[in-house]
Structure 1
Amino acid sequence: MTRRAVVLGVGHYLPDRIVPNSWFAETLDTSDEWIKSRSGIERRHFAAEGQTTSDLASRAAKAALADAGMQGSDIDAIILATSTADMTFPSAATMVQEAIGNTTGFAYDVQAVCAGFVYALANANALIISGQARRVLVIGAETFSRIMDWTDRSTCVLFGDGAGALILGADDGAGTPADRGILATDLNSDGRYRDLLYVDGGVATQNTGKLRMEGKEVFRHAVEKLAATAEAALTKAGLGPDDVAWVVPHQANIRIIQSTAKKLGVGMDRVVVTVQDHGNTSAASIPLALSVGRDRGQIKRGDLVVTEAIGGGLAWGSVVLRW
């Protein structure tokens, strides 16, 4: 028998405020058509004043717990992927831990920007297969609206706020690609490219800073690296693109999503797309898309799902799992 990390529940939360593309045209030289044609984004959600990343994460966590029929006390570990934690420390994960009434588990944040949720899933999988935890709550949550330069039309129109959560539980499989649960992971990073996507603030500068991005270069790296990491994870699992029911990519840009799917050899009819409604929610985008895809009736039990993401660092990776 082989221990697997199986999906037990999923949930998400989006702030109430919906911001259409037309909102940016009031202050920037841009338009709804300009934004849609370059990114596929039509609208996004922004957190309310005083609403923090841990607030969003806690709501998504409670939705996932309800979906799994579990209580906060049933969770052994909480891993929260975010680049916009409420404070330098303590971790936003510990704030979620309090919110869901968990006092016996452990909680920590993972920071790999847009690839954060993939990294967090790999962490959770390792905890489960090593026996350190049986039930792990994995969350991606961001309030990127707090780090935008509202004068930079090339970046500020792309991002949104939100949170998604997944609960993984230990289960026994046969050790074959037919098992449910996480079948393979692939993680990568290359610090030589850190200047392509970063925030120009932090402890060293004693200010929060704003997001900066070299869009064309990020696009080039994204298409190449996302297809490669997905193929690598599928190979590790003993599977190929034809076995994939759904690709659930990081929702950064529709052109990146389309180009990566083509390079991977998967039709867009097998890709879950939410970028038009959420924008780029960084570490929250994949769990949001998983939850929405399940709610839409796209992702069903037994489906082979591939998630892949790339973010600042550069950091990128993928996870192959059977729902």
Structure 2
Amino acid sequence: MIQSIIIGSGSYLPTIRIPNDHFLSRDFYGANGERLAKPNPDIVATLQKITEISERRYLEDDLMTSDMGYLAARDALNDASIDGESLDYIIVAHNFGDIRKDNIRVDTCPTLAARVKHKLGIANPYTVAYDLPFGCPGWVQGMIQANYYIRSGDAKRVMVIGAENLSRISDPHDMDSMIFSDGAGAVILEACETEEKVGIITHITRSDTLNHAHLLTMGPSYNPDFPDDTLFLKMNGRKLYEYAIKTVPPTVKACIDRAGLPLDHIKKVLIHQANAKMDHNILERLFHLYEQDRVPEDLMPMSIQKLGNNSVATVPILYDLVAKGKLGHHRFVPGEYALFASVGAGMNINVMVYRHPE
């Protein structure tokens, strides 16, 4: 039986660290165009309490999203000790393409995947490179697609990259801009012939567009005196939060049940780093669905506190940090199960259960 297992991972974290006090001098406005009356220290403190973000990473001025994707990809190839020429697919999940520091128009021609393949120097014309825009769940969806390629016999090795530069597409006058950050993560999946169930065991994806398509959109600055009509990333935070805590837990449960596993077999939950309060609430509600009250303390590693929310990059970066022992005591144990989940623009949700090979 052909199955897909992870043989290497990599990540790129920008070197520019932005602490919360960076925002104390900002002029924040609401969606109504009126300046927020709440003092900035209170705004920043409230954001940190809810999201747990104390600092985030911003991309260096001379780099773009494809550069981060390339650096994460190179790291993953080195980790797997393989030649990039052996890859059958390179899938790059992102939402805004390359964004220059001095010109934030979205640039996706050529695709970021083509740019990453070019930067890697891969000559193989049958290394198919394409982009996947799917909101924050893009990287998990890329893994699901890669799994299909491998299990069908169409591919032996697939690299899936999640890369995003949100700092340049965020409205500096919107307090939500404090949440967003930049980064990239990459994972390489390889075909494995075994009768034992390993690798990606099962998955599930849903798209709720009828009533929730516009919880994340693009819009002009909240500052009515902003000099131009540049479009920035905007989100309806309250409605998004309500959607996520209501919809993600039963979707996760459906995926675990589809795998035929009891909840206590899941030893790590790698969830999109959107908002720490939201992620904790999702996990608590999941346990309540199983009529359990206690969530193990070491179940859900978190990176948002120091890295912020870098969209599609959060889950692969989180995986790479744990896999390489760079996130406290968290480790992946051979034979154990991990769960990957994400929620974001669309609105889209996806979940997959993965078993680490013995």
Q: Name the structure where helix makes up a greater proportion of residues.
A: 1
- Secondary structure of the residue aligned to 1:318 is strand
Match of 1:59 among 63, 71, 80: 71
Question: Normalized against structure 1, the TM-score is what?
Answer: 0.93
The residue aligned with 2:6 is 7
How many angstroms does 1:81 deviate by?
A: 0.6
The residue aligned with 1:289 is 318
The residue aligned with 1:26 is 25
* Letter in structure 1 aligned against 2:71: R
* Residue 133 in structure 1 maps to residue 155 in structure 2: yes
Aligned-residue RMSD, C-alpha: 1.5
Q: In 2, are the aligned partners of 1:250 and 1:285 still within 8 Å (CA)?
A: yes
* Letter in structure 2 aligned against 1:312: A
CA change 1:173–1:225 in 2 (3 A) is farther
Deviates more, 1:47-56 or 1:23-32: 23-32
Match of 2:119 among 99, 109, 123: 99
The residue aligned with 2:332 is 299
* Residue 219 in structure 1 maps to residue 231 in structure 2: no
* Residue 200 in structure 1 maps to residue 200 in structure 2: no
* Letter in structure 2 aligned against 1:35: L
Q: In 1, are the aligned partners of 2:265 and 2:336 still within 8 Å (CA)?
A: no
Question: Normalized against structure 2, the TM-score is what?
Answer: 0.84
Once residues 230 and 321 of structure 2 are traced to their aligned partners in structure 1, the CA distance between those partners, rounded to angstroms, is 31
| % same residue | 32
Q: In 1, are the aligned partners of 2:6 and 2:190 still within 8 Å (CA)?
A: yes
Show structure 2 runs of 5+ residues with no match.
Answer: 28-38, 99-106, 221-228, 288-294
The residue aligned with 2:92 is 80
- Of structures 1 and 2, the larger Rg is shown by 2
The residue aligned with 1:191 is 209
The residue aligned with 1:250 is 272
Match of 1:169 among 150, 170, 190: 190
Once residues 170 and 307 of structure 1 are traced to their aligned partners in structure 2, the CA distance between those partners, rounded to angstroms, is 19
The residue aligned with 2:32 is none
* Residue 312 in structure 1 maps to residue 341 in structure 2: no
How many angstroms does 1:6 deviate by?
A: 0.3
* Letter in structure 2 aligned against 1:89: C
Once residues 268 and 255 of structure 1 are traced to their aligned partners in structure 2, the CA distance between those partners, rounded to angstroms, is 15
Listed one character per residue, the Cα deviations across residues 182-209 of structure 1 (whole Å, up to 9, x for unaligned) are 00111110112122112238xxxxx862
Q: In 1, are the aligned partners of 2:205 and 2:349 still within 8 Å (CA)?
A: yes
Once residues 109 and 336 of structure 2 are traced to their aligned partners in structure 1, the CA distance between those partners, rounded to angstroms, is 38
The residue aligned with 1:271 is 300
CA change 1:210–1:114 in 2 (3 A) is same
